[in-house]
Amino acid sequence: MIHERHDLWRRAASYAERMHRGQFRRDGETPYAAHPMRVALTVASVFGCDDPRALAVACLHDVIEDTTADYEDLLNLIGKDIADDVAALSKNPALPSALREAAYDEVLEKASWRAKIVKLADVIDNMADAGHGDEESEVSRGRRERLIDRARRAIDIARRDPAEPLAPAAEIAEAALRRFKAR
């Protein structure tokens, strides 16, 4: 069982690193793969969740949205449950941008607790990442407001789900949001 759990995490992390290779965060220097790994670390270390599927989803959460990988690739690599959760964390590019966020929230609302806990870790990492440097020059007011709005929606969605690990994770995300807004 321990070997299977380690194998799931290892395959997910390795695939995410490979798919995000050559991509960088907004600063133009940090390899993009650092983001999903930090999200996984937040799920494990900050939220105290050692569920191997949740950690795999954390590693893979941006591969459908930001790489050439698709649902079928994840289905074949790691299975339906994880592929479904990663798909739930991926915005639909076919929708007009005005409808995309609402559709995303609808899907996330119905998704597993694993997808929701990963989303909370994702918004925490995005706020932390955006908080580095001079706020006025590094993060536009519009981007800052979008980050606050996304965090608020993710927290609200998580709070409506009675799954055990979500309540403390939502509280931690709420505290991170308060700190971000205070900067």
Catalytically active residues, by annotation: 65-66
**Sign of dihedral through CA atoms 173, 174, 175, 180?**
positive
Note the Cα 135 to chain centre separation in Å: 23
Q: What is d(CA 144, CA 150) in angstroms, rounded to the nearest whole number?
A: 10
Residue type, 35: H
Which parts of 27-96 fold into alpha helices (H)? 34-41, 52-60, 63-66, 71-78, 80-88
